[in-house]
Amino acid sequence: MVNVMVCIKRVPETSGQILLSDDAQSIDARHVGYTLSSHEECAVELAIQIAKATDGESTVLTVGSQDAVEQVRNALAVGCSAAVLVEADPAAYGPADVAQAIAQVVRAREAAGTSYDVILVGNDAADTGDFQVGVRLAYALGRPVLTGISTVEMSGDTAIAKGKGPEGTEVFEIPLPVVIAIQEGGIEPRYPSIPGRMKAKRIPIDTVSSPIEPAGTGRVRLELPPAQPSVVEVLGEGPEAAPAVVELLYRLGVVTK
Amino acid sequence: MSSAVLVLVETDAHRVTETSLETLTFARDLVKRRDGAQSHALLVGPVDADLRATALSQLADQGVDVVHVAQHDGLSAYSAASWATAVVAAAAASSAAVVLAPGTPRGSEIMAHVAARLDTAMAANVVAVGEVDPLVVSRQVMGGAVLELMRLTGRPAVLTVAGHAVEPASADHSTQPEVNELQMDLLETDLLGRVVRVEASELDDTAALTGARVVIGAGRGAGSANGFDGLLELTRLLGGALGVSRVVTGLGWRPHHEQVGQTGTRITPDIYIACGISGAIQHWAGCQGAKTILAINTDRDAPMVTRAHYAVIGDLHEIVPAVNEELQRRMG
Ligand SMILES: Cc1cc2nc3c(=O)[nH]c(=O)nc-3n(C[C@H](O)[C@H](O)[C@H](O)COP(=O)(O)OP(=O)(O)OC[C@H]3O[C@@H](n4cnc5c(N)ncnc54)[C@H](O)[C@@H]3O)c2cc1C
Ligand SMILES: Nc1ncnc2c1ncn2[C@@H]1O[C@H](COP(=O)(O)O)[C@@H](O)[C@H]1O
């Protein structure tokens, strides 16, 4: 039995145009909504698969406000079996704070008899992209950690993890308990079904207040990069533009023959 | 008190990588702005004599004062924790005020370990330095759509430099770096997360995409899994690599290792020919390093078109085959 915890973060949806709040401290997402990093969607899927394969539990956890219940319910709807909301003002929490808060909750639950053999996080959050919560969490708990992992399988007390490296697929064999940061690419997240959503509604979300005083993010303010004036030169329309395209390729030295 | 700016340098089998040269160039500006600071670099891992000689001359060209070389039996296979042990040792040996690495997957991973061990803040994907003391940096967030000004009060400050934040350039005066063979002890726990083997697989092609001089991009406009014939033919004719949007990998039309973007590969070709791709910010994050962008799109107002250098407006299924034909005609 392998108990898995997966940590997720509610982030603004930023595929479209981005607006800043008036004080430039945050993204104004009122009109665009919220989502998860695609890395975390894969981590949620993996958590469910590992727990299923080993008859363990998959617990989703987030450090955030009550609003993040929306993302937690989505994870329950696709198959996580338990949920924890660590209530905190996410804007006040830097990556080191988030890691400390999660570590304390994990320790408290382990002291009370529920242990987590595998803790999954995303490789980097879609908003702040700090690339560090998983690693800091591992150090806080004194556990080994892998990042940039796209698939994980259990073999007894060892996790066999694979990720993309500079020379091919890198394979790791790491003893449990472990923290693993997941990268999109090896796993296909599933989408919630209606019965899944109904079932999720009945699972209680264990809400705890944050056990730590945050040190903060160091954020001075956000800025939108200066708009680049369009310099596009339209070479033409339709297939008639083909000679102009080929001419360009020769001019740029891309074709030399 | 003397202080140093320390750069973790990545190498391939033969030389210091391009992103590391960017980071060294970036760091040199920081050294200049910190009176009396020294420039230090760190080489880690199996560094053979040829690589060492090439790297030292590249680092001399970058104006580095001291090069720390970490060699150890435990560094024969990569693990982030053991690389971090080397960085922490070099940071102590140089009393570094700032430690930098390229914002590559490994650079980010190692720096996260370093920051956790030194209990100091880390800024990922930095593009510029604002104030030097206390350090305020500007870094990419939201996949590059937004910049965050972030203050780093801890010492040393730890940061990774975003790809293409600066153009790599030689120092005004090259140096004759002093070499320090770094003494370090690895713990058993440092080795738990080491690579046990590398499997040749389709993922290898990612390297082709990263290094390609020509990348043909394909998005939803390809229409279906069968819509790639012309695009693959163009890729072959130009000796390039195919890169795709997440819609394409998400729909299972092409494998994930071909994905370009924030959650895919970041490419730096001489030309990126983006066909049927709208240019969402997360895609742009991966292709903005292209020298020239040519967009082929039915929509004159798609962000990929307005941000490109060149564009052809129309259906890629008509335009790409016509380009292929014209290419074949001229190439004979
Ligand atoms: C956290 C997060 C991470 C993400 N990471 C990535 C990433 O790494 N990479 C990535 O690509 N996306 C990523 N995305 C998704 C991104 O936001 C976009 O949804 C995606 O890039 C859109 O792909 P597309 O341009 O192929 O499709 P669309 O946005 O649907 O655009 C299709 C384009 O094709 C044009 N077109 C249609 N038919 C034709 C035709 N016959 N001929 C020519 N042109 C045609 C249309 O005019 C349109 O411009 C991410 C999103 C999130 C939230
Ligand atoms: N507030 C949070 N609550 C829970 N998990 C988080 C939170 N912030 C970050 N994480 C996790 O840590 C990963 C890496 O985040 P970051 O280091 O901030 O880029 C994310 O993908 C999440 O899985």
> Which domains can be identified in chain B, with CATH numbers?
4-191 (3.40.50.620), 205-331 (3.40.50.1220)
Which residues, including other chains, have CB under 8 Å from residue A159's CB and lie 6 or more apart? Answer: A118, A152, A153, A172, A173, A174, A175, A176, A178, A180
Q: How many CB atoms lie within 10 A of CB A45?
A: 21
pLDDT at position A15: 72
Residue B127 has pLDDT above 90, yes or no: yes
Q: Which of B50-59, B165-174, B275-284 has the highest mean pLDDT?
A: B50-59
Pairing verdict, β B96-102 and B157-161: parallel
Q: How many helices (H) and strands (E) does chain A have?
A: 6, 13
Cα(B146)–Cα(B109) distance, integer angstroms? 22
- C-alpha of B4 from chain center: 24
> Domain limits of chain A?
4-209
pLDDT at position B1: 45
Interchain proximity B314–A184, CB inside 8 Å: no
Sign (positive or negative) of CA dihedral A210, A212, A215, A217: negative
Cα(B165)–Cα(B89) distance, integer angstroms? 27
Cα(A222)–Cα(B121) distance, integer angstroms? 18
- Domain A4-209 classification at class level: alpha beta
Alpha-carbon torsion angle B312, B315, B320, B323, nearest 10 = -50
Cα(B125)–Cα(B100) distance, integer angstroms? 10
Residue B327 has pLDDT above 90, yes or no: yes
pLDDT class for B202, splitting at 50, 70, 90?
low
Query: Residue whose CA is closest, atom 6 of ligand 1?
Result: B282
pLDDT at position B207: 66
Laid out side by side, the sheet with B178-181 consists of: A219-223, B146-152, B135-141, B122-129, B157-161, B96-102, B4-9, B38-44, B66-70, B178-181
pLDDT at position B201: 64
Degrees, nearest 5: CA angle A244-A248-A253: 150
Question: How distant, in Å, are the alpha carbons of A182, B55, B65, B68, B234 from that of B49?
Answer: 36, 10, 20, 15, 41
Q: Which two tokens stand for residue A119?
A: 């803790």
Of A135, A183, A225, the CB nearest to B147: A225
Which residues, including other chains, have CB under 8 Å from residue B251's CB and lie 6 or more apart? Answer: B225
Interchain proximity A232–B309, CB inside 8 Å: yes
Query: Residue whose CA is closest, atom 39 of ligand 1?
Result: B221
Strands (E), B103-205: 122-129, 135-141, 146-152, 157-161, 178-181, 197-199
Query: Is the distance from CB of B77 to CB of B194 less than 8 angstroms?
Result: yes
Q: Nearest Cα to B127, choosing from B148, B109, B110, B111?
A: B148
Phi first, then psi: what are they for B145, rounded to 5°?
A: -75, -20
Query: Residue whose CA is closest, atom 26 of ligand 1?
Result: B219
Q: Which residue has the higher pLDDT, A98 or B13?
A: A98
Phi first, then psi: what are they for B190, rounded to 5°?
A: -65, -25
Cα(B313)–Cα(B99) distance, integer angstroms? 46
Which residues, including other chains, have CB under 8 Å from residue B29's CB and lie 6 or more apart? Answer: B129, B166
pLDDT at position B2: 63
Cα(A198)–Cα(B245) distance, integer angstroms? 34
Interchain proximity A245–B294, CB inside 8 Å: yes
Whole-number average pLDDT of chain A: 95
Which bound ligand lies closest to the C-alpha atom of A10?
Answer: 2
Q: Which two tokens stand for residue A123?
A: 């490789």
Of A172, A224, A237, the CB nearest to B193: A172
pLDDT at position B285: 83
Residues with CB under 6 A from ligand 1: A 15, 35, 37-38, 126; B 219-221, 245-248, 259-264, 276-278, 280, 282-283, 286, 296-299, 302, 315-317
Which bound ligand lies closest to the C-alpha atom of B277?
Answer: 1
- Compute the count of residue pairs across chains A and B with CB atoms less than 8 Å apart: 249
Whole-number average pLDDT of chain B: 93
Of A139, A171, A252, the CB nearest to B117: A139
Q: How do residues B135-159 score in pLDDT, each as one tens digit?
A: 999 999 998 889 999 999 999 999 9
Measure in Å the smallest separation between the Cα of B262 and chain A Cα atoms: 9
Q: Which two tokens stand for residue A185?
A: 């690419």
Mean of pLDDT values over A7-35: 91
**Which of B268-280 are b and which e, b meaning 16 or more Cβ less than 10 Å from the residue's Cβ?**
bbebbbbbbbbbb
Please tell me what DSSP assigns to residue B42.
E
Q: How many CB atoms lie within 10 A of CB A111?
A: 9
**Residues 123-162 of chain A whose Cβ lies under 8 A from any Cβ of chain B:** 124, 126-132, 134-136, 138-139, 144-148, 162
Query: Is the distance from CB of B163 to CB of B289 less than 8 angstroms?
Result: yes
Interchain proximity A245–B117, CB inside 8 Å: no
What percent of chain A shows pLDDT beyond 70?
Answer: 100
Residue B9 has pLDDT above 70, yes or no: yes
